[in-house]
């Protein structure tokens, strides 16, 4: 079942069918148009996207590469990306680098062999030369969630410095004096650096000094995160608050606190990064920093596709706003208004 079959049935040439399929009515009368559309319907003709893409150099497929598919945070982002792609006539190819720079390169290669029109990527952060060369050759790419330091990169991120700042500032405003940050040991990823920076800024802005920073670092790949946290909690026995920098860490922190029988928020207050469906049902309900995941996905897909149609320049830096959601775990009054820095 090819375009030739349709052409035969309608007694026209392939050219004419192709024109009509693509809405190019310049060279056809309404009658031939009807004949062709009729034939298409009768034969239930489905164009072969491979052939089309091969000749036209455009597949209408975009790729998305995540670095940790397992984290439910991405469900929401993915939904935003998929919805937008569908609305704009694109299909989506997905892969998972699993924070592995080798895999990231390999998948990028596969995307390009498949002639994907562009890709959205949450970079591992470990492949700067790769990112740079892609940008240099103007390959359509949008970095999401994690920033890539290249002045010609297109990024869609959430303001991590601000998110961390409002979290920690909130804790300090409600009287906490020994606030620790709990994060992954990872030198490559912008999000961690920025959340650490926001934590630091909040402390300094509230009259604390560098020596008051309490940094609890975890191995990202380890299965023993909770044990590490317990160890760190024993080491820093005087802390009265924890700012936890992602949803997975937060769960482990809660587990550790429970195991040590430390009361939240009475003894230790907790603010977690990433609002989730379950945050409000935890014990106690968790104060979080909400990141607009769906919107981030939408924006990334939108920007990429604009870029493809040449409407938008390559370079862009979309910074979305995080939001503090106050619940009981931080020891403040739920319903309190959101605090802004400065």
Partner DNA sequence: AACATTTAGTGTATCGGTTTCCAACAAGAC
Partner DNA sequence: GTCTTGTTGGAAACCGATACACTAAATGTT
Q: Compute CA distances 228 → 33, 99, 188, 252, whole Å.
A: 70, 21, 21, 10
Neighbour-count burial of 313, counting CB atoms closer than 10 A to its CB (0-12 exposed, 13-18 middle, 19+ buried): exposed
Stretch that binds DNA, among 14-22, 179-187, 213-221, 237-245 (CB under 7 A): 14-22
> Smallest gap, in angstroms, from Cβ of residue 106 to DNA?
18
Does position 15 bind DNA by CB under 7 A? Answer: yes
Does position 26 bind DNA by CB under 7 A? Answer: yes
Residue pair 218/245 in contact (Cβ under 8 Å)? The answer is no
Does position 38 bind DNA by CB under 7 A? Answer: no
Q: Spell 101-139 as b/e; 16+ CB within 10 A means b.
A: bebbbebbeebeeeebbbbbbbbbbbbeebbeebbeeee
> Smallest gap, in angstroms, from Cβ of residue 56 to DNA?
4
Binding partner of residue 56 among DNA, its own copies, none, CB under 5 to 8 Å per kind?
A: DNA
Q: Which of residues 47-106 bind DNA (CB under 7 A)?
A: 47-48, 51-52, 54-56
Binding partner of residue 31 among its own copies, DNA, none, CB under 5 to 8 Å per kind?
A: DNA
CB-nearer residue toward its own copies: 93 or 130: 93
Binding partner of residue 185 among its own copies, DNA, none, CB under 5 to 8 Å per kind?
A: none
Helix (H) or strand (E) holding 194: helix 190-205
Residue pair 218/184 in contact (Cβ under 8 Å)? The answer is yes
Does position 340 bind DNA by CB under 7 A? Answer: no
CB-nearer residue toward DNA: 39 or 156: 39
Binding partner of residue 84 among its own copies, DNA, none, CB under 5 to 8 Å per kind?
A: none
CA gap 220, 246 in Å, rounded: 11
CA gap 332, 136 in Å, rounded: 49
Binding partner of residue 334 among DNA, its own copies, none, CB under 5 to 8 Å per kind?
A: none
Does position 14 bind DNA by CB under 7 A? Answer: yes
For residue 145, what is the DSSP state? S
> Smallest gap, in angstroms, from Cβ of residue 141 to DNA?
21
The first and second tokens of residue 107, run together, are 């998948």
CA gap 131, 125 in Å, rounded: 9
Binding partner of residue 82 among its own copies, DNA, none, CB under 5 to 8 Å per kind?
A: its own copies
| Coil, helix or strand at residue 275 | coil
CA gap 245, 242 in Å, rounded: 9
Binding partner of residue 298 among DNA, its own copies, none, CB under 5 to 8 Å per kind?
A: none
Stretch that binds DNA, among 19-27, 73-81, 248-256, 317-325 (CB under 7 A): 19-27
Q: How many CA atoms lie within 13 A of 123 on its CB side?
A: 26
Q: Compute CA distances 319 → 7, 64, 159, 188, 221, whole Å.
A: 50, 19, 6, 20, 28
Farthest-apart Cα atoms in the chain, separation: 85
Binding partner of residue 61 among its own copies, DNA, none, CB under 5 to 8 Å per kind?
A: its own copies
Contact footprint for its own copies (CB under 8 A): 46-51, 53-54, 59, 61, 69-72, 74-76, 78-79, 82-83, 86, 91-96, 109-110, 112-115, 248, 251, 254-255, 258, 276-278, 280-284
CA gap 233, 230 in Å, rounded: 5
Contacting residue, 12, 141, 164, 296, with DNA by CB under 7 A: 12
Does position 309 bind DNA by CB under 7 A? Answer: no
Residues that bind DNA (CB under 7 A): 1-4, 11-19, 21-22, 26-29, 31-32, 45-48, 51-52, 54-56
């Amino acid at each position: 079942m090819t375009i030739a079959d349709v052409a035969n049935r309608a007694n026209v040439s392939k050219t004419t069918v192709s024109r009509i399929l693509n809405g190019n009515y310049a060279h056809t009368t309404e009658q031939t148009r009807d004949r062709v559309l009729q034939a298409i319907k009768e034969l239930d003709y489905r164009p072969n996207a491979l052939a089309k893409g091969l000749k036209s150099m455009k597949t209408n497929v975009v790729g998305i590469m995540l670095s940790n598919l397992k984290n439910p945070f991405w469900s929401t982002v993915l939904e935003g990306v998929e919805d937008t792609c569908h609305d704009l006539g694109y299909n989506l190819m997905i892969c998972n680098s699993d924070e592995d720079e080798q895999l990231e390169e390999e998948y990028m290669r596969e995307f390009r062999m498949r002639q994907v029109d562009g890709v959205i990527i949450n970079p591992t952060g470990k492949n700067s030369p790769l990112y740079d060369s892609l940008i240099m050759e103007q390959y359509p790419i949008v970095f999401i969630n994690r920033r890539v330091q290249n002045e010609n990169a297109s990024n869609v991120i959430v303001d991590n410095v601000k998110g961390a700042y409002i979290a920690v500032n909130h804790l300090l405003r409600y009287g906490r004096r020994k606030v620790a940050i709990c994060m992954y040991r990872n030198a490559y990823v912008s999000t961690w650096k920025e959340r650490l920076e926001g934590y630091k800024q909040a402390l300094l802005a509230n009259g604390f000094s560098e020596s008051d920073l309490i940094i609890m670092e975890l191995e990202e790949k380890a299965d023993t995160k909770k044990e590490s946290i317990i160890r760190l909690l024993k080491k820093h026995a005087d802390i009265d608050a924890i700012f936890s920098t992602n949803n997975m860490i937060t769960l482990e922190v809660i587990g550790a606190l429970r195991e040590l029988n430390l009361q939240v928020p009475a003894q230790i207050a907790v603010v977690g990064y990433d609002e989730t469906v379950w945050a409000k049902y935890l014990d106690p309900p968790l104060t979080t920093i909400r990141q607009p995941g769906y919107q981030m996905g939408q924006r990334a897909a939108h920007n990429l596709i604009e870029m493809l149609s040449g409407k938008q320049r390559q370079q862009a830096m979309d910074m979305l706003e995080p939001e503090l959601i106050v619940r009981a775990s931080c020891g403040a009054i739920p319903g309190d208004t959101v605090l802004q820095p400065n």
